[in-house]
């Protein structure tokens, strides 16, 4: 697991694992969030496609031709030549975690969530950001900076409130020290991670779920990768009046 950060109220954690081969459902990984009272929690997962991807192995069947009868002298039925299926291996390229940026958190409501860019970022890296807001409806929609793309959001209202938003960007040749998402003024937090070796169109699929309780126990639903060599990145977020502890 790559990062786990606590602020005054929310806690964010993320990690990654190599996904199964293409066409195979991924396992689920449960995390728990505990505090002095009931917490709310989001669990999300994203499949990241590697560069130079190969599709999952497939077998092509050649249909058997139908023999055409000839008057008086029958024509022998030709024997079809079927190609031997060729297994397609896992791509040589792999995706690796580079670094996490600095946690943004505030003890007061904010109108902008300014998330630090990880050190060591290079052009072509896949940047993933999680923004969590004290919002149980998903109606406080962050306005992302230019070049950032929304992946999904998941929300829960169960005594406490939280909505977790996920975004991605392909890093350019020169990245600023931080990026800001504007929101309707509210309590919020954010964290960014950097992965190397991903495709220029890196997101295959995503999933998410929510839970509440003490502890709150949650796992992102299983995903089935389209390609071999994908990386599954997991994001957990939890909120309480004091920062919960997430155990991955």
Q: Which residues contact 164 (CB under 8 A, 6 or more apart)?
A: 42, 44, 130, 131, 132, 153, 154, 155, 208, 235, 237
pLDDT score, position 37: 83
pLDDT score, position 70: 46
Phi, psi of 175, rounded to the nearest 5 degrees: -100, 145
Helix, strand or coil for residue 230?
coil
pLDDT score, position 90: 43
Taking the model in full, what pTM does it have? 0.83
pLDDT score, position 18: 94
pLDDT score, position 248: 85
Using 50 as the pLDDT threshold, list the residues of the chain that sit under it.
Answer: 1-2, 70, 72, 85-93
Over the range 21-60, which residues count as b (16 or more CB within 10 Å of their CB) and which as e?
bbeeebebbebbbbbeebbbbbbbbbbbbbbebbeeeeee
Here the tokens at position 79 are 């024997």
d(CA 227, CA 231): 10
């Amino acid at each position: 697991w790559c990062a786990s950060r606590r602020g005054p109220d929310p806690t964010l954690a993320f990690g990654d694992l190599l996904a199964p081969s293409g066409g195979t459902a991924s396992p689920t990984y449960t995390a728990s969030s505990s505090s002095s009272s009931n917490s709310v929690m989001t669990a999300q997962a994203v499949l990241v496609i590697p560069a130079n991807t190969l599709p999952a192995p497939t077998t092509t069947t050649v249909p058997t031709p139908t023999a055409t009868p000839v008057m008086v002298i029958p024509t022998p039925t030709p024997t079809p030549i079927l190609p031997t299926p060729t297994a397609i291996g896992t791509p040589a390229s792999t995706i690796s975690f580079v670094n996490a940026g600095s946690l943004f958190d505030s003890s007061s409501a904010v109108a902008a969530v300014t998330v630090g860019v990880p050190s060591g970022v290079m052009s072509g890296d896949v940047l993933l950001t999680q923004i969590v807001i004290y919002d149980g409806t998903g109606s406080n929609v962050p306005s992302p900076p230019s070049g950032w793309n929304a992946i999904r959001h998941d929300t829960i209202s169960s005594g406490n409130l939280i909505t977790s938003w996920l975004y991605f960007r392909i890093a350019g040749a020169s990245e600023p020290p931080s990026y800001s998402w504007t929101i309707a003024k509210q309590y919020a937090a954010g964290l960014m991670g950097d992965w190397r070796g991903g495709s220029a169109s890196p997101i295959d699929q995503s999933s998410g779920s929510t839970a509440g309780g003490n502890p709150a126990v949650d796992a992102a639903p299983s995903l089935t990768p389209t390609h071999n060599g994908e990386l599954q990145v997991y994001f957990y977020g939890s909120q309480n009046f004091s920062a919960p502890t997430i155990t991955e």
